Amino acid sequence: MHNLKYQRITVIIPSKGASTKFSASTDKLYEYVTGVLLSLPYDNSYFGTAIQLKIAGEEIFPEYFEAKILGVSQDVPPDDRFYTGSENNKMMEPASGSLIEGMLSDGGADTNVVFPYTAILLMRIENIHEKKEPVKKELQEVK
């Protein structure tokens, strides 16, 4: 089994200034959420847009947390686009079917933004502890 998966949650923002609640369950076959990426289709839609996010009941981003804090340009290598906590406090939230819930609130900038638009929340989920294969009997018998 692969130890890494990217789980995608799409959130539709219907109109200027609208707030959309979202919820999903993490894949049961993976143990931890280790990164979050928020992608909005237009640069200007990051202005004032806020995300609130909880994973397994724990607050990751409180109300009013700006999307632009999470956003990075396409010049950034894909792996580095994920929010992963900080160096001393790496994100490792329980997955295995846990609830992801939150709200995305559009910031109201309408210059160069077309409504409705679809935001993508990408969760990086992993199995950190690799399952070991059982030791083969023949090897055990070698003296």
Partner 1 sequence: MERISWVIIQTEVTTQNQIIEIDRKLPPHLLRCEGIFLSVVDYLETAKPLVNHVGHLKSLSLNSRKFVPFSQHVGYNKNNAVSKARRLEFATLDIIDDNSQLYALYQDAGTALDDADTFLPYKLNIYLKCIKND
Please say which residue, 64 or 141, places its beta carbon nearer to partner 1: 64
Q: Measured in whole angstroms, how far is the alpha carbon of residue 98 from the centre of its chain?
A: 13
Mark the segment that binds partner 1 (CB under 8 A) among 15-23, 54-62, 115-123, 124-132.
54-62
Asked whether position 72 contacts partner 1 by CB under 8 A, the answer is: yes
CA trace torsion 14, 20, 23, 26 (10° rounding): 70
Tell me the closest approach of the beta carbon of residue 44 to partner 1, in angstroms.
6
Cβ-based burial of 13 (10 A; exposed 0-12, middle 13-18, buried ≥19): buried
105, 49 Cβ separation under 8 angstroms = yes
The sheet that has 19-25: what strands, in order across it? 19-25, 99-105, 50-55, 58-66
Asked whether position 76 contacts partner 1 by CB under 8 A, the answer is: yes
Alpha-carbon span 135 to 52, nearest angstrom: 46
Q: State which of residues 14, 62, 78, 116 lies at the interface with partner 1 (CB under 8 A).
A: 62
Q: State which of residues 27, 43, 101, 126 lies at the interface with partner 1 (CB under 8 A).
A: 43
- Which of positions 92-111 make contact with partner 1 (CB under 8 A)? 107-109, 111
Please say which residue, 29 or 108, places its beta carbon nearer to partner 1: 108
Q: Which residues bind partner 1 (CB under 8 A)?
A: 43-48, 58-59, 61-66, 68-73, 75-76, 83, 85-86, 89, 107-109, 111
